[in-house]
Amino acid sequence: MNRHYILSALVLIAFFAAGTWLFFHYDLHVFFSDRERAVEMITSYDPYDEIIFIALQILQVVFAPIPGEASGFIGGFLYGPLLGTVYSTIGLTIGSWTAFLLAHIFGLPLVERIVSPETLRKYDYVLEHKGVFIAFFLFLIPGIPKDFLCYILGLSHMRLWTFLIISTVGRLFGTIMLSSFGSFARNNQFIPLIALLVITGLFLIVAYFYREKWLEKLKERATKYNGGPPVSGA
């Protein structure tokens, strides 16, 4: 292991340890469990509330088992659809980068502690060397555990910049939708909120019922493209 990897590992360990301490010391779990208290907590740090929000978005990805569905909504509620999307994207990108590097440096033993064996088996085909399109499509599909996917892709041969592009762009649609929900709710814009809910709801219903079929098609594509069965590790 060269100096670059040693230094990266030390930085990531320090970041992970600091994030763990902050999370439990300041009861940051509120951000993921109680929307109203989360808004109060973030705004209490004014004028640094944007930094706190971005940091919490980073932790949401790194601590993948923590549900973060409400975070994008809170971003839009606090900062509007544009800045909410920007701040969420910054946090999600940094968090994705951190999870990817943690998996890349520490390998399968770390990922197995974070991602369940069932999830690893289900998405092992994205570890294929030429699975960029497949990985990007997975980030687009609602219901796919995208935070876990960052760790799984960290085991692959994918380049960091490629990963950052597909994970950021792949998450963008969902982030925009959540930020818009939050903004409409805060401004009591019920007509566009209902319209957006209906459109998103229809999309999610279709995605839910066809998700497994899409995954099977992606597995077949991965197998055909790479000339063999999916791999189960990096």
Residue 218 domain-assigned (yes or no): yes
Query: How many domains are contained in the chain?
Result: 1
Residue 64 domain-assigned (yes or no): yes
Residue 161 domain-assigned (yes or no): yes
How many CB atoms are closer than 10 A to CB 190?
Answer: 11
- Per-residue pLDDT, 231: 40
Residue type at 162?
T
Q: What is the pLDDT of residues 72-93, one digit of tens each?
A: 888 888 999 899 999 999 999 9
Give the H/E segment covering residue 20. helix 3-25
- Per-residue pLDDT, 164: 93
Give the H/E segment covering residue 210. helix 190-226
Please name which of 107, 102, 106, 98 lies closest in space to residue 127, comparing C-alpha atoms: 107
- Per-residue pLDDT, 223: 57
Domain that holds residue 19: 3-226
Range 101-106, long-range pairs (CB < 8 A, 24+ positions): 101/8, 101/12, 101/154, 101/160, 102/12, 102/16, 102/62, 102/151, 102/154, 103/150, 103/151, 103/152, 103/153, 103/154, 103/155, 104/154, 104/155, 104/160, 105/5, 105/8, 105/9, 105/12, 106/9
Residue 232 domain-assigned (yes or no): no
Residue 233 domain-assigned (yes or no): no
DSSP 231: P
Residue 234 domain-assigned (yes or no): no
Q: What is the pTM of this model?
A: 0.71
Q: How far is CA 177 from the centre of its chain?
A: 15
Residue 176 domain-assigned (yes or no): yes
- Per-residue pLDDT, 158: 86
**9 Cβ contact list (under 8 Å, min separation 6):** 1, 105, 106
- Per-residue pLDDT, 166: 92
- Per-residue pLDDT, 183: 82
Residue 172 domain-assigned (yes or no): yes
- Per-residue pLDDT, 233: 40
Q: What is the pLDDT of residues 155-173, one digit of tens each?
A: 888 889 999 999 999 888 8
Ranges in the chain, pLDDT < 70: 1-35, 64-69, 125-131, 142-143, 189-190, 192-193, 195-234
